[in-house]
Protein backbone atom coordinates (compact mmCIF):
# COMPACT_ATOMS: atom_id res chain seq x y z
CA UNK A 1 0.00 0.00 0.00
CA UNK A 2 1.57 3.25 -1.12
CA UNK A 3 0.53 6.82 -1.66
CA UNK A 4 2.84 9.02 -3.71
CA UNK A 5 2.65 12.76 -4.20
CA UNK A 6 4.50 14.28 -7.13
CA UNK A 7 4.59 17.32 -9.38
CA UNK A 8 6.34 19.81 -7.14
CA UNK A 9 9.18 22.02 -8.21
CA UNK A 10 10.52 25.54 -8.42
CA UNK A 11 8.21 28.11 -9.98
CA UNK A 12 8.15 31.89 -10.18
CA UNK A 13 5.45 33.88 -8.41
CA UNK A 14 2.30 33.84 -10.50
CA UNK A 15 3.17 30.50 -12.01
CA UNK A 16 1.33 27.18 -11.88
CA UNK A 17 1.97 23.61 -10.86
CA UNK A 18 -0.19 20.52 -10.83
CA UNK A 19 0.38 18.04 -8.04
CA UNK A 20 -0.64 14.41 -8.37
CA UNK A 21 -1.41 11.89 -5.67
CA UNK A 22 -1.28 8.33 -6.94
CA UNK A 23 -2.21 5.23 -4.99
CA UNK A 24 -0.86 1.76 -5.47
CA UNK A 25 -2.16 -1.31 -3.76
CA UNK A 26 -5.58 0.11 -2.99
CA UNK A 27 -8.34 2.16 -4.59
CA UNK A 28 -8.40 5.87 -3.90
CA UNK A 29 -12.12 6.02 -4.62
CA UNK A 30 -12.76 4.37 -1.25
CA UNK A 31 -11.41 7.47 0.49
CA UNK A 32 -11.69 11.16 0.96
CA UNK A 33 -8.32 12.62 -0.06
CA UNK A 34 -6.73 15.63 1.54
CA UNK A 35 -3.80 17.79 0.59
CA UNK A 36 -1.72 19.25 3.39
CA UNK A 37 1.41 21.36 3.42
CA UNK A 38 4.14 22.19 5.86
CA UNK A 39 6.52 25.09 5.52
CA UNK A 40 9.78 25.28 7.48
CA UNK A 41 9.13 26.31 11.06
CA UNK A 42 5.36 26.18 10.63
CA UNK A 43 2.66 23.74 11.58
CA UNK A 44 1.14 21.43 9.04
CA UNK A 45 -1.84 23.03 7.32
CA UNK A 46 -4.80 21.55 5.52
CA UNK A 47 -4.93 22.89 1.97
CA UNK A 48 -7.83 21.09 0.34
CA UNK A 49 -9.96 17.98 0.54
CA UNK A 50 -12.21 16.09 -1.85
CA UNK A 51 -14.89 13.53 -1.10
CA UNK A 52 -15.01 10.04 -2.58
CA UNK A 53 -17.27 11.02 -5.43
CA UNK A 54 -15.61 14.37 -5.97
CA UNK A 55 -18.85 16.16 -5.25
CA UNK A 56 -17.68 17.87 -2.09
CA UNK A 57 -14.55 19.98 -2.00
CA UNK A 58 -12.99 22.19 0.64
CA UNK A 59 -10.19 24.72 0.54
CA UNK A 60 -8.32 26.73 3.08
CA UNK A 61 -9.08 30.42 2.73
CA UNK A 62 -5.63 31.39 1.49
CA UNK A 63 -5.87 29.20 -1.63
CA UNK A 64 -9.53 29.64 -2.58
CA UNK A 65 -9.85 30.80 -6.16
CA UNK A 66 -6.28 29.79 -6.96
CA UNK A 67 -6.15 26.06 -6.25
CA UNK A 68 -8.47 23.37 -7.61
CA UNK A 69 -8.71 19.83 -6.32
CA UNK A 70 -10.01 17.05 -8.56
CA UNK A 71 -9.91 13.32 -8.84
CA UNK A 72 -9.91 10.70 -11.55
CA UNK A 73 -10.90 7.47 -9.90
CA UNK A 74 -10.30 5.54 -13.10
CA UNK A 75 -6.66 6.63 -12.88
CA UNK A 76 -6.55 6.19 -9.10
CA UNK A 77 -5.24 9.75 -8.89
CA UNK A 78 -6.13 12.98 -7.14
CA UNK A 79 -4.84 16.29 -8.46
CA UNK A 80 -4.19 19.70 -7.00
CA UNK A 81 -3.98 22.39 -9.66
CA UNK A 82 -2.19 25.39 -8.22
CA UNK A 83 -2.38 28.69 -10.09
CA UNK A 84 -1.21 32.20 -9.25
CA UNK A 85 1.33 30.79 -6.87
CA UNK A 86 2.77 33.01 -4.18
CA UNK A 87 5.98 32.73 -2.16
CA UNK A 88 3.87 31.91 0.90
CA UNK A 89 2.73 28.72 -0.87
CA UNK A 90 6.25 27.36 -0.52
CA UNK A 91 6.08 24.13 1.46
CA UNK A 92 6.26 20.38 1.28
CA UNK A 93 2.88 19.15 0.08
CA UNK A 94 1.43 15.83 1.21
CA UNK A 95 -1.64 13.86 0.26
CA UNK A 96 -3.47 11.62 2.68
CA UNK A 97 -6.51 9.37 2.88
CA UNK A 98 -9.51 9.74 5.18
CA UNK A 99 -11.99 6.91 5.65
CA UNK A 100 -14.95 9.24 6.11
CA UNK A 101 -16.85 12.09 4.51
CA UNK A 102 -15.34 15.56 4.77
CA UNK A 103 -17.35 18.29 6.41
CA UNK A 104 -16.68 21.98 6.79
CA UNK A 105 -15.60 21.87 10.43
CA UNK A 106 -13.20 18.93 10.30
CA UNK A 107 -11.90 18.35 6.77
CA UNK A 108 -8.54 19.89 7.63
CA UNK A 109 -7.81 17.92 10.79
CA UNK A 110 -4.75 15.88 10.02
CA UNK A 111 -5.36 13.27 12.71
CA UNK A 112 -8.44 12.07 10.82
CA UNK A 113 -6.28 10.99 7.90
CA UNK A 114 -4.75 7.55 7.89
CA UNK A 115 -2.31 6.94 5.07
CA UNK A 116 0.15 9.68 4.19
CA UNK A 117 2.26 9.85 1.10
CA UNK A 118 5.79 11.14 0.85
CA UNK A 119 5.67 14.84 0.22
CA UNK A 120 6.64 16.86 -2.78
CA UNK A 121 8.47 20.15 -2.45
CA UNK A 122 6.91 23.28 -3.90
CA UNK A 123 9.09 26.37 -4.00
CA UNK A 124 7.76 29.69 -5.25
CA UNK A 125 10.54 32.16 -5.76
CA UNK A 126 11.88 34.62 -8.30
Higher pLDDT residue, 73 or 89?
A: 89
Q: Are strands 17-24 and 2-6 parallel, antiparallel or unpaired?
A: antiparallel
Q: What pLDDT was estimated at residue 50?
A: 97
Beta strand 9-11 with 2-6: parallel, antiparallel or unpaired? unpaired
The overall average pLDDT reported for the chain is: 95
Mean pLDDT calculated for residue range 42-50: 97
Count of CA atoms in the C-beta half-sphere (13 A) of 102: 29
Query: Among residues 47, 14, 18, 23, which one has the least CA distance to residue 118?
Result: 23
Q: If you ran DSSP here, which 8-state letter would residue 116 be given?
A: B
pLDDT at 14: 98
Q: Does the pLDDT of residue 1 top 80, yes or no?
A: no
For the stretch 113-122, pLDDT in tens is 999 999 999 9
Distance CA 120, CA 17 (A): 12
Measured from the Cβ of residue 37, the count of other Cβ atoms closer than 10 Å reads 23
Amino acid sequence: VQLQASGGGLVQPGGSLRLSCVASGFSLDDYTIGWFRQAPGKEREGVSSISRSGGRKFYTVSVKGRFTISRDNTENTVYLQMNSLKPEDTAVYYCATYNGSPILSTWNLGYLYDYWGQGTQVTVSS
